[in-house]
Structure 1
Amino acid sequence: MTHHTLPRNLHPETLAVREAVERSQWGEHSEALYLTSSFVQPDCATAARRFANEEAGYTYSRTANPTVASFEQRLAAMEGTECAVGTSTGMGAILLMALTVLKAGDHVVCSQSMFGSTIRLLGGEMVRFGIETSFVAQTDVAAWKAAIRPNTRLLFAETPTNPLTDLCDIEALAGLAHAHGALLAVDNSFASPVLQRPARFGADLIIHSGTKLLDGQGRTMGGAVCGSTAVVDKIMGTFLRSGGLNIAPFNAWVMLKGMETLALRVRAQSAAALELAHWLEAHPNVTRVYYPGLESHPQHALAMRQQNGMGGPVLSFDVLGEGAEQLRANAFHVADSTRVCSITANLGDVKTTITHPASTSHGRLSEDQRRAAGIGQGLLRISVGLEHLDDLKADLSRGLDTLS
């Protein structure tokens, strides 16, 4: 295969379509999809060298695959990191991180506003392996500092958070982590490298659920961890191949194609989300809107500085109501009244989605955990797609205007 070296300092939009386009002898313009479990070797001596990692070459798709390598190289270039490894899902990426940078007796400080599955993994499953996690308020840097112990090895945040769009100051948390000999990991699934590149602010590891914005059309599962060669490739890459957490070549290829339109989609979705957030904020049956692009958001200034001046495609809002039972009923009514929006917990899709976090993405958390994260029964989350905005407003009005 041939691969021409690109000029340095290209913009992310160019990297999204030009980085890691390796061509076979046939000269295909689109990235080739290598659907093969193994690779034929020219002779036994070459096979021996390649299996011993003495010579570059592909042997088995669990250890390396050209399509997966292209996905990893492109994402790393867009994030501005030395390398990346693709995983089967976004949660697989978090599991890979936990099992490679942590050991029994280590301690993690994590945002209490993380995705529900992340909280269950770190706060529940990892306890069996002797790894303890303290959960703190996302926006309170002092709380993060107070939670650090001598055995703290990792600080982990998601920014913006799911579903309340709280931000963390990446640069501040990076300084805090490094001062105490820990790593900072940032889940960048909600923003993508179009909005923010956490490595620029000092983050050591960047997590992606590629199922969301990277794919962008709700077609497949996948994830990734981006970071330094020393940590991500040499440590995580070895475990990834031994443990079989790899992304499938087909899924990597789908995300490669999705990333080509990532910037266009995210910017259009962010612009639509901002207008929809203003509209919701003015609706009499909406009590609060959570969106970093709004000036009413408590971290609006940080969002404009850290997220390239955009709020992103995801927003949440509280509907009017008294008491948990009525709030839940009103939220269900608004969502069930939609005909354009899809009632599904996925996000980052070109199709607008709406979900009730308290009963879906965060439904398995305890009421105390949901309360700590600020997730009430009247909360709805919207991931804005590419439909006409007037149609989305009319779709939400059908339920909002008829609340009792």
Structure 2
Amino acid sequence: MILVMARVAGRIAHRLGQPAVIGEIVGGLLLGPTLFQGALAHTLFPTDIRPYLSALANLGLVLFMFVVGYEVDFGRLRGCGRIAVGTVLGSAVVPFALGALLALHLLRERHPASRAGFILFIAVAVSVTAFPVLARILTDRRMSGTWLGTIALSSAAVCDLVAWSALAAVQVLAGTAGQSPWWVLLIVPYAVVLITRGRPLLERALRGGGPEGPASAGSLAVVLIGLLVSAAVTQALGLHFVLGAFLFGLVMPRGEGTGLKDVLLPRVQFTTTLLLPVYFIVAGLNVDLSRIGASGLWDLGLILAVAVTGKFAGTWLGARSQGLPARRSAVLATLMNTRGLTELIALSVGLQIGLLDGGLYSEMVVMAVVTTVMTGPLLRCFARPGDREPVRQE
């Protein structure tokens, strides 16, 4: 049923000019407690089966975050020059500052586990750009590989790195299940070992994966084992397991000239296609929009205003400061305002570590959906055929 829902909702979203993942997210929310006072959710997903759904959803998250890290291509940064730098600074600093001010306002009626962690988390949450959804939108709009598309993807990759690093700091501030915060600092030597020792070992293991090379079952097994171990290590250190999966994807050898990436990604993405709809259901079970009162609507409007204004204005100003024309800066700002699934994952971390309550989590999920839905219509307003020009070197 979940897979049928995802397929139907994805097709509807695609016909409306939206990425399929938006339909899947909205479908997951509608199957939650929002409709019929939760009767539909309790009938379809009884309490005793929800832990099993969560296990499948977590496995899907691990694979998805691996793909996100694996698709980060630092080679794109070459040739983007100062405009990419201006875009990154504007799309990170401005929404971060506005998000911190928003957090101070939200703190007046809330008492999270850590005030400092809450402020940092809200600032990070409104600064996120969804790299995978952005890549899909660029492909659908035939802007993948264009100059503007390359700058947007490069900037989104850097923003993702900053966001997930800041999220690790948030977990330290919020406390980690009774562990000493200093224990979390072991993530630094772990990352160093993974880069300096793990990557060469992976290259040798994947090169000798068998007669089929990177296409062999042995190569896939090596990758999956390493991925799950990395996720388990970060969880053992008191951080969320998605950080370990993302880090493992970053250090994976790209195998230029061997076809390694072209072989591995479709196999992993097929699995995420099966498991991510389960995550949307699990996330939707925590969202009850029917209980948002007048104060919740006010907070939701404020969250949307801060998220859209901060990301759009920050990116626009950053690009304009480096000489990009106003309209093309608006196209870039529209692309960077995309949040989607990456935002949902970050929000789930905040919910699990006690920084978000149910009401605020629901409002932030709505913000993630609305800002992603905005991308298509705004692109139709600002984009022109000339924006599909190929990458140029500066």
TM-score (norm. length: structure 1): 0.25
Q: Which has the higher helix share?
A: 2
Q: Which has the higher strand share?
A: 1
The one of the two structures with greater contact order (alpha-carbon pairs below 8 A, sep at least 6) is 2
